[in-house]
Amino acid sequence: MKVCIVGATGLVGKTMIKLIEERKFPVNQLIPAASERSSGKTIFFRNNEIKIVSIKEGLAAKPDLVLFSAGGKVSKEFAPVFAQYGIVIDNSSAWRMDPEIKLVVPEINAKEININDRIIANPNCSTIQLVMVLAPLHKKYLINRIVISTYQSVSGSGVPAINQMESERKNIEPNMIYPHPIDLNCLPHCGNFTDNGYTTEEIKLVNETRKILNDQVINITATAARIPVLGGHSESVNIEFSKNFELKDIINILNNSPGIKVTDDPKNNLYPMPVSSANKDEVFVGRIRRDQSRKNCLNLWIVSDNIRKGAATNAVQIAEYMLGQGLI
């Protein structure tokens, strides 16, 4: 099997390569592709040094599987062309809301993929960790409304944002990626502001959640903030159900849902944190408690490594599922 990683030099692309090796995904030839300025550089994969090629060179190899993490513009241009030869799993926002393209979190809706699907969309990192927790609860209690507040790490904005924060911490004049300093600060600003006052990141949470849960009538509102944390996104989530619930049943459902780890012992200061989610593939949930102000309402705190399960791991899991079903 020939596997091409488009965007192989970025945070997510590098992690995809690492995960393919960790998870022993069957690769006969790895083709790392990136922009022209990275062509000729090398990476290591399974103790072998491999040269990075241009995207067009990667296309010429006619790979069986392509994992894209190079931004929406590149994906719009090249994903349909790659899809003539193999399966494309795209990590950008380019195809997520296309009605003809599946938006997949394997633990929730991988079974929707069929032999005709040539491009599969990977959801936004904040959406993935959110719906991992919502899906089993929605199935049992039927969600009416969700209020989400995110606390997103700088790694979600890529290497330049990490460099800005680290420069600020060293009192070095930074190359500003954000409109304000990020270290010792909190920006209620993820993505770009739209005419309705919400950011693109907040709108993604609404639209992608509805699509993955296959429910367009759930009421959802979100506020997304950027915080000076290197990696790992956190979310405070308030859920209103149609049915009443017992906390012990909520915990039992989550404990028995694949890919979720309940960390909820506040008396012993145990709860999910970005630092404890680093380099892990699970979605961590804690601070599970009833909302005392409203009937049938629940509060949760959800944390996940946004580069792994929020991007690279989810994409590789989709590829594993498709391989197992004979779709690749």
Residue 187 has a CB neighbour count (10 Å cut-off) of 17
Q: How far is CA 65 from CA 120, 177, 323, in A?
A: 11, 33, 10
Q: Which residue out of 4, 138, 190, 233 is catalytically annotated?
A: 233
Torsions phi, psi for 261 (to 5 deg): -125, 120
For 278, the 3-state DSSP assignment is coil
Q: Locate tokens 């993505």: which residue? A: 191
Q: What is the DSSP letter of 72?
A: H
The separation between the first and the last C-alpha atoms of the chain, rounded to the nearest angstrom, is: 9
| Residue of 4, 125, 138, 190 marked active site | 125
CA–CA dist 300, 247 (Å, integer): 11
Name the packing angle between helices 125-141 and 247-255 (round to 10°): 120
User: Token digits for 273?
Assistant: 């944190």
Q: CA gyration radius for the chain?
A: 20
Is-catalytic flag, 186? no
User: On the CB side of 321, how many CA atoms lie within 13 Å of its CA?
Assistant: 20
Q: Is 303 helix (H, G, I), strand (E, B) or coil?
A: strand
CB under 8 A, 24+ apart: contacts of 156-159: 156/125, 156/126, 156/190, 156/226, 156/233, 156/306, 156/310, 157/226, 158/10, 158/11, 159/10, 159/11
- The 3 state secondary structure assigned to 233-260 is EEEEEEEEECCCCCHHHHHHHHHCCCCE
C-alpha span between 187 and 229 (Å, rounded): 12
Active site residues: 125, 233
